[in-house]
Structure 1
């Protein structure tokens, strides 16, 4: 397990999956069809349980400078420290992402009000991240609140 720190907030456009996990691929297809092609754009998956324990999943894409897509849902990935696990060739190992989040969420310093974040590095690799809580940020001097 490694640490990664987002130095600034990352604004994203997103499409919410109709079902989890069955609707993930379709949400990503819908999002990519709505956005202009940009090879520098980062893609993400963002998920968390609602009050009933049902997982909400959003396919997300970085908003590029000067871009405006009115009507599209947005989500801000917060700056700060995250615990991470990197997965090579995740599509060859279908359970690898859920297994990574199981491990990440067991760590005591995780923000209990955070989310699970998939950062698609390329078509083969993904970085799984969970934000660290206030106590960890204060202890390490990374608290920006």
Structure 2
């Protein structure tokens, strides 16, 4: 684990998965279908528990221009700048179980923002993933 500082807010728009984790691929497919191209795009996964303890997952893309999310009829979310605890997963698709295990470890950090969320930042054309949780 290492500290990661996000130096600017990132406005994203998203598609909410119908279930977790089964609905995640379909949510990303739906998100990608809205876009003219995925080249040069930043993609994220945002997850958190609802009041019943069920995980809500949002497949998200950074806006490339103001109002892009609204143009596609999507809701938006602001990933706020600040400090996160992070861990980078290389070739995460070879063992997708490591994603949940990594977040369990990150969520045990003593300075965790208890009102935060789990953030996946996809890198290298989705080959690597940066797992992040916000700190207080």
TM-score of the superposed pair, with normalisation by structure 2:
0.93
Q: Secondary structure at the match of 2:28?
A: helix
Q: Is contact 2:44–2:122 with CA below 8 Å preserved after alignment?
A: yes
Map 1:50-129 → 2, pairs under 5 A: 50-66=50-66, 68=68, 69-121=71-123, 122-129=125-132
Q: Secondary structure at the match of 2:29?
A: helix
1:32 aligns with 2:32: yes
Structure 2: gaps (5+ residues) = none
Q: Could you say what the CA RMSD is over the residues aligned between the two structures, in angstroms?
A: 1.2
State which structure, 1 or 2, has the greater radius of gyration over its C-alpha atoms.
1
Give every structure 1 segment of 4 or more consecutive aligned residues whose post-TM-superposition deviation is greater than 6 Å.
none
Q: Is contact 2:14–2:75 with CA below 8 Å preserved after alignment?
A: yes
For residues 50 and 6 of structure 2, what CA distance do their matches in structure 1 show? Answer: 25
CA displacement at 1:39 relative to structure 2: 2.1
- Cα shift readout 1:36-75 (whole Å, capped 9, x = no counterpart): 2142210000000011101000000000035632521111
Q: 1:26 to 1:128 in 2, by over 3 A?
A: same
Aligned to 1:43: 43
For residues 82 and 39 of structure 1, what CA distance do their matches in structure 2 show? Answer: 26
Q: Is contact 2:14–2:59 with CA below 8 Å preserved after alignment?
A: yes
- The number of aligned residues is 133
